[in-house]
Structure 1
Amino acid sequence: MTKVHFTHIGGPTVLIDFDGWRLLTDPTFDPPGRTYAFGWGTSSRKLTGPAIAPTDLPPIDAILLTHVHHGDNLDDAGRALLPAAGTIVTTSSGARSLPYPARGLRAGQATRLEAPGRPPIDIAATPCRHGPPFSRPVVGEVIGFALTWPGQAHGPLWITGDTVYHRALREAATRLRPGTILLHLGGVGFPSTGPLRYTMTTRQATRLHEAIAPRTVLPVHYEGWQHFRENREGIEREIAGGSSTLRESLRWLPRGSPVDVAV
């Protein structure tokens, strides 16, 4: 069993520290106040800054970047961190677009991180659909990451990435049977697109949980921006008001403070 230290810095940005490895997900370190365009008439203003300044980060062995083209997953200050990272793992299209060497993956492909004196980490890309059916030409390529290494007691660590619940996601999760999930929530929506959602809602997360019964669910990317339709209060209200099994596994990460989770 591995004890993993998770530090939620804000939005999708989490420092993952275990057995000598330091991994960073979707680096977003810009200050609040700026409005970012996401294409096709959609935009959002950042409301909350990072809990940890980029200058206070330890050396990063790898950055796991679910996609490169949205400012709430990779902003200017986050891009400035990329050259110093030991490895960048992202989408195949994202790797081609970055001015730095990166390992590009499509859903179903995998890569391995290795270093002397540390356990190897196998990273498999998982499918994401960052919006309604047939939206990929608009929203672009997005992936999640399933991390496996020797000594895990409860199954892989899964970072879902920005996605709604859909068949390919459920099938991948059923094959993986992750024990711990960094779950991108928030039910993203925009005035110009009405009721359409671009990340998972609490109801969708409940369906996913029922399909795979993970041991621990750590919500991320549900706060700090205008475009989230379900913040923590809304998520907790939805869980409390229904029959969601999600409450059995849900564990909130405090911003800026490490939390130990047995993986």
Structure 2
Amino acid sequence: MAKLVLTHLGGPTTLVEADGWRILTDPTFDSPGRRYTFGWGTSSRKVAGPARPRDAIAPVDVVLLSHDQHADNLDDSGRALLAQAGTVVSTVPAARRLAAPNVRGLADWESTTLTAEGRPPLTVTATPARHGPRFSGPITGKVNGFALHRDGEDAAALWMSGDTVLYDGLREVARRMPVDVALLHLGGVRFGFTGPVRFTMTAREGLELTQLMRPRVVVPVHYEGWTHFREPEDVARQALSELANVHWLTPGTPAEI
């Protein structure tokens, strides 16, 4: 299988280069220092800026937007980028809210195929995600993961989890879909008034999922840069240390995977 080139830009934001396609996940390019509200009394302050500015990333053919309702996955500068992208693939509710001609909303397990002159077709499949404990959907909103399939290949060249806890929907992904590279959103997000309740995977949950999924490479992202992350890189590295196939990206530095 041809390699992917990944460049982690900070938070969830990762540039994926494959077969001439430039694919960006969850664009966040605002400067650090600002506090953002996430609704229902939750908020977080951004403490790290992007490894590269937004203008240095152009052109972008595809944006995979796991959800639009939280600024740590789509901030103001990221929203400005959406209009410049060829196609934005997101959730059905996000497509309604964004209401732009280049945005496609996918339900769980729905696919769309992208074509461009001089490049092989690229199929994007939406996968289940749950951004918190059971019954948290009305509060946290709909989230998708996304899988990229090259033309003629059954296995996903790349699967991004989106912001999610480990639950049966992710286990279904592991059962149904062979994955080459797994881009895992970690960080163990918690907020003060919600106590021990987590809204994204911990590294131990990422380890459990990886053992079920068995991808060739695991790439952790979205575990630092905001005050609501409670499991930083050193903790995640320790939890995932028994995996031989973990690749930690250096922000701003392209890596062939």
CA distance in 2: counterparts of 1:40 and 1:136, whole angstroms: 13
SS of the residue corresponding to residue 249 of structure 1 reads coil
Number of the residue aligned with 2:151? 150
CA distance in 1: counterparts of 2:238 and 2:25, whole angstroms: 28
- Structure 2 letter corresponding to 1:156: A
Tell whether 2:253 aligns with 1:253.
no
- Runs of 4+, deviation exceeding 3 Å: 150-156
Q: Deviations over 1:160-183 (max 9, x none)?
A: 100000011111222112111110
Range that drifts further, 123-132 or 153-162? 153-162
Number of the residue aligned with 1:133? 134
SS of the residue corresponding to residue 119 of structure 1 reads strand
Number of the residue aligned with 1:195? 196
Q: Judge conservation of contact 1:2–1:151 (CA < 8 Å) in 2.
A: no
Q: Deviations over 1:86-127 (max 9, x none)?
A: 001100000000042210011111101111111111111000
Q: Report deviation, 1:58.
A: 2.5
Number of the residue aligned with 2:63? 63
Q: Report deviation, 1:212.
A: 1.6
Q: Report deviation, 1:150.
A: 3.2
Aligned pairs for 1:34-53 (under 5 A) are 34-53=34-53
- Structure 2 letter corresponding to 1:256: G
How high is the TM-score relative to the length of structure 2? 0.96
Number of the residue aligned with 1:73? 73
Q: Is the alpha carbon distance of 1:183 and 1:169 closer, same or farther for their aligned partners in structure 2, counting shifts above 3 Å?
A: same
CA distance in 1: counterparts of 2:237 and 2:170, whole angstroms: 23
How large is the Cα RMSD of the aligned pairs?
1.4
The structure showing larger relative contact order (alpha-carbon pairs under 8 Å, at least 6 residues apart) is 1
Q: Deviations over 1:38-74 (max 9, x none)?
A: 1111110000000000111131111110000000000
Aligned pairs for 1:76-91 (under 5 A) are 76-91=76-91
CA distance in 1: counterparts of 2:210 and 2:51, whole angstroms: 28
- Structure 1 letter corresponding to 2:96: R
- Structure 2 letter corresponding to 1:145: F
Q: Report deviation, 1:192.
A: 0.9
CA distance in 1: counterparts of 2:49 and 2:213, whole angstroms: 33
Unaligned runs of 5+ in 1: none
SS of the residue corresponding to residue 80 of structure 1 reads helix
Identical-pair percentage: 52
Q: Judge conservation of contact 2:147–2:156 (CA < 8 Å) in 1.
A: no
Number of the residue aligned with 1:168? 169
Paired residues in the alignment total 256
SS of the residue corresponding to residue 3 of structure 1 reads coil
CA distance in 1: counterparts of 2:157 and 2:129, whole angstroms: 17
CA distance in 1: counterparts of 2:64 and 2:155, whole angstroms: 21
Q: Judge conservation of contact 1:147–1:156 (CA < 8 Å) in 2.
A: yes
Q: Judge conservation of contact 1:12–1:25 (CA < 8 Å) in 2.
A: yes
Q: Report deviation, 1:77.
A: 0.4
Range that drifts further, 153-162 or 214-223? 153-162
Q: Report deviation, 1:237.
A: 2.5
